[in-house]
């Protein structure tokens, strides 16, 4: 087999996600699958205090302060 064909096949196979490759091998395309994530009780309680998981997922950033002796340090995630 020549090198360009081998590299092309390698590129095509490596670009597919493992789930999609596994499902396509079975002949099933399951893209409407729902993944259920179990969170620890402490995190679940915090999320509920702040509007629930649906509200949390809609947020675009997180802002918080870290209290230090030299002054509070503000942080923001994107």
Residue 64 has pLDDT above 80, yes or no: yes
Predicted confidence at residue 21, as pLDDT, reads 47
Using one digit for the tens of pLDDT, what is the confidence trace for 7-57?
A: 555 556 555 555 554 444 445 555 677 777 888 999 899 889 989 988 888
What is the Cα gyration radius of the chain? 22
Domain positions in the chain are 1-33, 36-78
Residue 6 has pLDDT above 80, yes or no: no
Predicted confidence at residue 41, as pLDDT, reads 92
Is the full-model pTM beyond 0.85? Answer: no
């Amino acid at each position: 087999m020549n090198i360009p064909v081998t590299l092309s096949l390698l590129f095509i196979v490596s670009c597919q996600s493992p789930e999609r490759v596994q499902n396509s091998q079975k002949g099933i395309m399951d893209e409407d699958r729902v993944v259920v994530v179990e969170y620890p009780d402490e995190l679940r309680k915090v999320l509920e205090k702040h509007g629930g998981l649906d509200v949390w997922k809609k947020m675009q950033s997180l802002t918080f302060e870290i209290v230090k002796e030299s002054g509070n340090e503000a942080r923001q995630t994107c």
